[in-house]
Structure formats: C-alpha cells, structure tokens
Structure 1
Amino acid sequence: MRLLFDENLSPKMVAGLSDIFPGSAHVDRVGLGGGSDNEVWRYAKDNDFVIVSKDADFYEQSMLRGQPPKVIWIRRGNCTNRQLQLILRNKAGDIAELCMADDVSLLRID
C-alpha cells in the first residue's frame, strides 16, 4: 500500500508513516508540486499509488472515473501532522481493505 500525499498534506507524512506505508511519496517530492489534479491522478495510476487528500477534487474524480487509482479522502478540519498520522495508522486496516477490494475506489475518513 503505497500512498501518494496531495499538496494539502505535509511532506513529513511520508517519513512519519514509512513503517506502516513503505514506498509512499508526496507530490512535491515526485515533481508534481503545483501540478494539476489530472497529472497527480495519472501519476498515481501509472505508479500504483493510492491518493491521500483533504481536497474534494479527488473524491469527485474517483466518482467520475472509478479506479485506479484509489482515493483516501480525509474530511477533518484543521489538525496537526501528528493527528493525521494517528488517524491513518488507526485506519490501516480499512486502507488495506480498500486496496484489496475490486469494487471499492474510495475511503472517506470523517
């Protein structure tokens, strides 16, 4: 389960979750900082990543396009990187199920 963190999440998420989600990346670190959502979508699809975002745009693309890639939409207000990391750690089982399910393309975390 490799996660691709969107611009609205800190690049520090990659290192903070590397033990549970190895091989993950941040859009800034793969040359997509400031890139369009379509570019991020294609990169995630071509490189087998699950997109993690707090932005509804990827949710909407997921509903229109289906998968791959799969999308994790975090719908929490302001919270620290530490809190977000804890949320994703607590949802690791749900994220694994998302990755394995053929008929599910989105995990919404409220």
Structure 2
Amino acid sequence: MPLDWEIWLDTNISPVIAKWMMAHLNVIVKSSYSLDLHFLDDLTIYNRAKSAGKVVLVSKDADFPELISKLGSPPKLINLKIGNCSNQILWEKIKPRMKEVLTILAESDIDMVELQ
C-alpha cells in the first residue's frame, strides 16, 4: 500500500491493533483514541476522514458502509464482520489479508472490502 494512505481504526477496535498493524504493514495507523474521535458520531468521523484525504477506515460498525455507499469515498473502508473476540484473535484473523485488501483499496475504484 502506498505510504501516502493512513489507516484509522474505529472506536470498536483496540489501539493495540494499531500498533501491530503499523509494524506489520509499515504504514501510518491511528486509533480513534489517538485521533480524539472516540466520542464523536460516525458522520463526523466520516467527514474528518474525508477531509484528511487518503484514509482507510477499519470498523465493525454497520453505519460506515451505509455512509460510504451514500456519500462516496474517500474514506475507504475495511468492514470487519468478526464478532467479539480478544485482540490477539482479531489480529490473527485479519493479518493474513491486510496487505492484499489495502492494495486493492489503494489501487482501485473499490470503496469497501469486508473481512470475515
């Protein structure tokens, strides 16, 4: 994935995942807590990501696919369809596909990818 894209993790994903993802992918990954977004509604987060430009949101929230379908991208979205689990299990489930998914989002007109 080009280094000019940032990944923003939604509030429902632990900041520890941001650290692991940044080390694995060698890109900028920020949690909603480091961005001070954790108390904001989804539309405000979407608008901030849109203003920032090349942002990929990672979320389990059903509202983001609707926002991106309705309002367009950027931001682009990795929609996680993985239930409650530990941080370690979540990372083990998404890690094998992250590079591929981010490349698809960065290099194509695809706005959203779902990971299960």
Give aligned-pair identity as a percent. Answer: 27
Offset at residue 45 of structure 1 (A): 1.7
1:21 to partner: Cα distance: 4.6
Match of 2:16 among 9, 12, 15: 12
Structure 1 residue ranges (4+ consecutive) displaced by more than 4 angstroms after TM superposition: none
Scaled by the length of structure 1, what TM-score is found? Answer: 0.89
Correspondence for 1:72 among 55, 67, 78? 78
Greater shift after overlay, 58-67 or 15-24?
Answer: 15-24
RMSD: 1.4
After TM superposition, the structure 1 = structure 2 runs for residues 1-110 of structure 1, keeping only pairs within 5 Å, are 1-19=5-23, 20-47=25-52, 48-91=54-97, 92-101=99-108, 103-110=109-116
Give CA deviations for 1:40-80 in whole Å, capped at 9, x if unaligned. Answer: 11221222210100111001111111211101100011222
Q: 1:104 deviation in Å?
A: 0.9
1:96 partner amino acid: T
Distance in 1 separating the partners of 2:36 and 2:7: 16
Gaps of 5+ in 2: none
